[in-house]
Structure 1
Amino acid sequence: MLATFFFLSSGRNIKINQFTNYKLIDDSLSIRMENISLENLLVQLGDSNYPHSLKKYDKEKYNIGKDLINNGRTIIKGKKTKRISTFFVCIDCHNIGREFSLLESESSLDRLNFAKNNFIPYLPGSTFYGVYNRTSFYNDDYVKKYGDLVNKASNNLNEAIQVCAKYCSSGRYLEAWELEAIMHYFKGNELKISDLDLNDEILLDIKNIANLDSNQKNHLKNKVNSFYRQFYSATFLPAMDINIRKYGEGGNVQNGKYIYNKSCLHCHANSRVTYLNLGNDKLSAKMFEKNLTNYSDKSLYQIIRYGTYPKAGRKQYMPLYTKEKMSDDQINDLVSYIKKLSNK
């Protein structure tokens, strides 16, 4: 098992990968912590199990869930199952790995920097990394888009998955075995204590958990919870007024290039999941540049903030980017790259 060693020094923990089950806290003290799930720790500190809690995951179901998330279907007894959606799969909008160096962050700048450093897509949906450990979904402004559907899904992961399968992917509700498999996949990738950047004081408190009273346990639980997100905020912004748009002035061209390649082209390159074909070419850039001063669907300022909606005969649509997933400054970075590409 590939574990992580934490050596205490003045300041911060230093992580060193080794093949071991132990995490060293100092030269003389060690605790077996690598495989302790975050959920189990929180229960020991007085929390209830999650409503979607599974005691353990089944490897076969995990692999089926992985197939469904990556491919939109799986193979059972040598036959392909029915697609969840004809138009999208989960990873069109969601990463499956970590998106932040610090799990408590939801800063769009932190997210973009992590994406660039790890060469991952920059997508409108929240990552599935740690989704098993979240307690709230379709937060804040998503009620404006999905209305009453949010009521059941906001604090129920199973219902949130069903909303995504049926409505977000222009697909269908999952069958029970499909939902179960996806939940086993999420369970298999739940957060462990070693995923959190806990300091030495907290780690020692965890080791001594049996000796803590209820107030101390509650205090420790709050500290642990501050090291990761139980939900992601979602703020819908209007299209920026044409009178205050910077039109790329002062924008970071390299950031804009990354956003174009790992956001826009993630779906639009070679018309992968859409009718609109885009590339790193002057023609694509010119199309965007001439629409910068309007509010049409070809305006980056408009389409990023509102997306589009599925309609009869064309169920593919573009989801919007919330403020947390792409800031106004990042849109300006994107415009700066588009203008550079247009003038090549």
Structure 2
Amino acid sequence: MKQIYFLLIGIFLIGTSAILIKPDIQSQSTKRVIDVEQLSVSDVLLMLGDDTLIHHIQQVDPELVKMGEDLVLNGYTERNGKKSKRISKHFVCTDCHNLTREFDDITSENAAERLRYAKANDIPFLPASTFWGIYNRTSFYNKDYVKKYGDLVVNARDSLYNATQVCAKYCSSGRYLEQWELDAVMQYFKSLELKIKDLGLDANTLKNLRKMGKLKQAEKEDLIAKIKGAYIHKYDATFLETMPREQRKYGEGGDPANGEMIYEESCMYCHANARLTYLSLGKNKLDGRMFWNNRTSYRDQSLYQIVRHGTYSKPGRRQYMPLYTEEKMSDEQLNDLMAYLKQLAEK
């Protein structure tokens, strides 16, 4: 399998270099220039001799990519001239997942850095990890997700296929994907994979990548390590308990501007005009007071409770609120949110 893949990569490189030939007027010769930064991380790792990913896709199928995109964005697509069955009547993937970069430093999972990037790039601040680069990851439903999903995560941790099925069936209150749907979603994930240009590698590393065919094995292994060290391979999930009353600051010392961003891009992302749920939220005094008046409680109306525990799907109301892990919303950010809601309640 690997030999066939290397043969195809070789053909690809020959074709690419032929396209990118640049004339050298001074020497009356030609130089073959390969824009290595445009190559996918997974392809380059294979060229250097690394192992294939379990979910490795050898060839991209544009038609399947489009169908996968439809499934992710809409929960259904068109196949053989007919609309497919919805994956879920309640959610689509983008209710919890972004499709773009979420950090300047893509080795990070720091909540403050994630919020800064969201503010600077006008993207939602969601409870799940982005699909951008998910193809390059090797571990899923990590750490504390076992507390919520139990044995379901055992076979999902090391398999993007199985992780996607758990998400489709349980996280979206939907159903398992049919094989053709799973294939299409995997193709779409492949289209969102990291490229070398995304890694911020130094000039010397890029120089060595451009001549990788001439490198010794030890040098190739060094490049593999540098590439793999430049992006995250799994996102952790630390579940926090509801903060005890005596530890709550109720917004004191918090940043209301950060809190407003979180309210808009987290809370209202789902609750504005009751888009996904019975509870409609807006930037008004009434909603601010609802949260502020419940600030000391341990009920779902308290942000200290609902953010850390979410709610559960149940018969008659399959929509639920996912919890925010420490990596997705820190206690400091929760205090920022309370600082903003205090201002909103006092309008």
CA distance in 2, matches of 1:339, 1:296: 18
| Cα root mean square deviation, aligned | 1.7
1: CA distance between counterparts of 2:255 and 2:113? 15
Q: Using the TM superposition, give the Cα deviation of residue 75 of structure 1 relative to its aligned residue in structure 2, in angstroms.
A: 2.3
Query: Structure 1: where are the runs of 5+ without partners?
Result: 1-19, 23-27
Corresponding residue number in structure 1 for 2:151: 148
SS for the counterpart of 1:255 is: helix
Residue 187 of structure 1 deviates from its aligned partner by: 0.9
1:247 partnered with 2:250? yes
216 and 34 in structure 1: CA distance in 2 versus 1, 3 angstrom threshold: closer
| Aligned residue type for 2:164 | I
Q: Which segments of 5 or more consecutive residues in structure 2 lack a partner in the other structure?
A: 1-18, 22-30
- 1:188 is aligned to 191
**Matched residue SS, 2:218:** helix
1:138 deviates by 0.3
CA shift, 1:289, in A, is 0.5
In the aligned structure 1, how far is the partner of 2:20 from the partner of 2:199?
A: 16
**Kept after mapping to 2: 8 A contact 1:170/1:316:** yes
Give the whole-Å Cα distance in 2 for the aligned partners of 1:166 and 1:202: 42
8 Å CA contact 2:100, 2:130 repeated in 1: yes
- 2:45 matched residue in structure 1: 42
Distance 1:78 1:168 in 2: 29
Aligned with 1:331 (options 290, 310, 334): 334
Contact conserved, 1:289 with 1:342, CA < 8 A, in 2? yes
Map 1:74-85 → 2, pairs under 5 A: 74-85=77-88
Size of the alignment, in residue pairs?
A: 320
2:284 to 261, 281, 286: 281
Q: Tell me the distance in 2 between the aligned counterparts of 1:177 and 1:44.
A: 29
The equivalent residue for 1:128 is 131
Structure ID, larger Rg? 2
Matches of 2:330 and 2:100, distance apart in 1: 21
The one of 229, 238, 244 aligned to 1:226? 229
Which of 234, 238, 245 pairs up with 1:235?
238
Work out which of the residue numbers 107, 110, 117 in structure 2 matches 1:107. 110
Pick one of 304, 320, 325 that aligns with 1:322: 325
Pick the aligned partner of 1:64 from 60, 67, 91: 67
Q: Secondary structure at the match of 2:343?
A: helix
Residues of 2 paired with 1:54 and 1:214: CA distance?
Answer: 25
Indicate the structure with greater helix content.
2
TM-score w.r.t. length of structure 2: 0.89
Instruction: Report the secondary structure of 2:36's partner residue.
Output: coil
1:164 Cα shift?
0.1
- CA distance in structure 1 between the aligned counterparts of 2:198 and 2:102, rounded to whole angstroms: 13
